Amino acid sequence: MKMSMRYASACLALLLCAPLVARAQSAGELQSQIDQHNAQISQLDAEIAQYQKQLTATSAKKQTLQTQLDQLNLSIKKTTASISKTKNQISSTELEIQQLAAGINKAQGTITDEKRGLAESLRALAEEERQPFVVQMLSEDTLSGVWNDLAALQSLQTAVSAHITTLNSTKKVLTDTKTTSEQKRAQLLAQQKTLLTQQGSLNATKQAQSELLAQTRSQESTYQAIIAQKKAQQAQFENALNDLQAKLNYTVNPNQITTPGKGILQWPLDNVRLTQYFGNTPFASSGAYGGKGHNGIDLAAPIGSPLHAALGGTVLGTGNTDAVKGCYSFGKWVFIKHNNGLGTMYAHLSQIAVTQGQQVSVGQLVGYSGETGYATGPHLHFGVYVASATQIITLGSATKTKTPCSNATMPITPLTGYLNPLNYLPSL
């Protein structure tokens, strides 16, 4: 009995020591790298907050060329810092996944070692329990030896029971670790998607800055002249848009109009701030839009803000009215036709991210906000049209009035084809 109990005790000692042997040596190095990334992320957060503070202060100034350039430069710096932050977050997450993978391997090794040790201990216990008590007494020299062996046996049974509990606990840790690892991987993929969007936003911002510099050559007087020219020619465009030829100026069938309802469409921007409503707004009443009212809504959007499809559908067309010299209207635009009879218009973009005929899903990136066309500041013009009453044609083929926009291609619909977007968007 003595040899068997010693053997079982040795097995127990090996069992208790197994988790210590399985520890990896690189855990400290991984944690050190993660701490470095987190420190960089904190520093970048502070930079981003500072850039946002400067952007807010700059936006409060009067509209001048220098203000626009300052805003663009600050937006670039802020976006660059955001991209660096996201990259650090991705690197940190990858290191954490390595930690989790190492933890899974260690936990699996611990389980394997404990199973092996438990098996040996259980075999030793079974061998001892098969011997009659009298035989156990006769195999010992003294009665105290018998009691000592019985106490050792009881101790071993208690230890085995404790290790069974530990084994179950280790299995649970392994399961939880796997779940955490999967969550981290999903988070990493989401961060990668965000990074790509931010990179696109940065490119859009840089392009907008280059175009502005090319137009004005950094001269304040030139910039102010462009704004005045935009205002004058925008009035001509709106008059022409409202003066459609008879063949296009038909009454829309009410059955073709989707019943209004909150949430039928989703907001095309992550951060929503309305700057002009649909219809007879104060700006429209002042003489804008040929006295016909605003045919969409305007949403504040710094240059380079990602714009999302309000609903799944097909890209019916894209265009850039700025490509026609002297035409100040929609600028870069995207029009999506949806299966419920609605069409959505996204105008004044800095960059377009979709192509004609492309199928898009709700929330998919369609472009980046800007101030192309008739826009004296960055924003998104968002319109909702009756799709069946809308054509993608040149303005000159739809109206008798000749304007600098006559050769520009854009979505054309009669006045009855414009719908109030707020009737279909979620409540603010």
More confident: 226 or 399:
399
- Structural domains in the chain (count): 2
Q: What are phi and psi of 37, to 5 degrees?
A: -65, -40
pLDDT at 213 over 50: yes
Q: What is the mean pLDDT of the chain?
A: 76
Question: 344 and 412 share a domain?
Answer: yes
| pLDDT, tens digit (0-9, with 9 covering 90-100), for 67-78 | 766 777 787 788
Question: 264 and 346 share a domain?
Answer: yes
pLDDT of residue 137: 53
Residue 321, SS3 per DSSP: helix
Residue at 101 is within a domain:
yes
pTM of the predicted protein model? 0.63
Residue at 13 is within a domain:
yes
pLDDT of residue 271: 92
**In one letter, which amino acid is 213?**
L
Residue at 428 is within a domain:
no
Question: 195 and 243 share a domain?
Answer: no
Question: 202 and 237 share a domain?
Answer: no
- Length of the chain (residues): 428
Question: 180 and 265 share a domain?
Answer: no
Residue at 255 is within a domain:
yes
Least confident stretch, 12-21, 278-287, 324-333, 359-368 = 12-21
Question: 185 and 239 share a domain?
Answer: no
Which of 151, 182, 211 is where one domain is finished? 211
Q: Over range 17-34, report the average pLDDT.
A: 58
Question: 205 and 244 share a domain?
Answer: no
Residue at 223 is within a domain:
no
More confident: 237 or 183:
183
Q: Would you place residue 386 in the very low, low, confident or very high pLDDT band (cuts 50, 70, 90)?
A: very high
pLDDT of residue 22: 39
Whole domain around residue 46: which residue ranges?
2-211
Question: 242 and 203 share a domain?
Answer: no
Q: What are phi and psi of 273, to 5 degrees?
A: -145, 110
pLDDT of residue 1: 44
Question: 14 and 72 share a domain?
Answer: yes
Residue at 9 is within a domain:
yes
d(CA 367, CA 180): 34
Q: Are 274 and 298 in contact (CB under 8 A)?
A: yes
Least confident stretch, 160-174, 226-240, 251-265, 385-399 = 226-240
More confident: 119 or 343:
343
d(CA 251, CA 419): 14
- For 74, residues 6+ apart whose C-beta sits below 8 A from its C-beta are 51, 54, 55, 58
Which of 181, 211, 241 is where one domain is finished? 211
More confident: 159 or 325:
325
Residue at 216 is within a domain:
no
pLDDT at 349 over 90: yes
CATH number for the domain harbouring residue 287: 2.70.70.10
d(CA 33, CA 391): 57
d(CA 383, CA 423): 12
Q: Are 303 and 370 in contact (CB under 8 A)?
A: yes
pLDDT at 310 over 50: yes
pLDDT at 234 over 80: no
**In one letter, which amino acid is 358?**
Q
Question: 193 and 245 share a domain?
Answer: no
Residue 288: Cβ within 10 Å count: 19
Which of 211, 241, 256 is where one domain is finished? 211
Of 426, 63, 149, the residue nearest 274 (C-alpha): 426
- For 178, residues 6+ apart whose C-beta sits below 8 A from its C-beta are 104
| pLDDT, tens digit (0-9, with 9 covering 90-100), for 41-66 | 677 777 777 766 766 665 555 556 66
pLDDT of residue 257: 81
CATH number for the domain harbouring residue 206: 1.20.1260
Residue at 129 is within a domain:
yes
pLDDT at 416 over 60: yes
More confident: 376 or 85:
85
Question: 199 and 238 share a domain?
Answer: no
Question: 192 and 51 share a domain?
Answer: yes
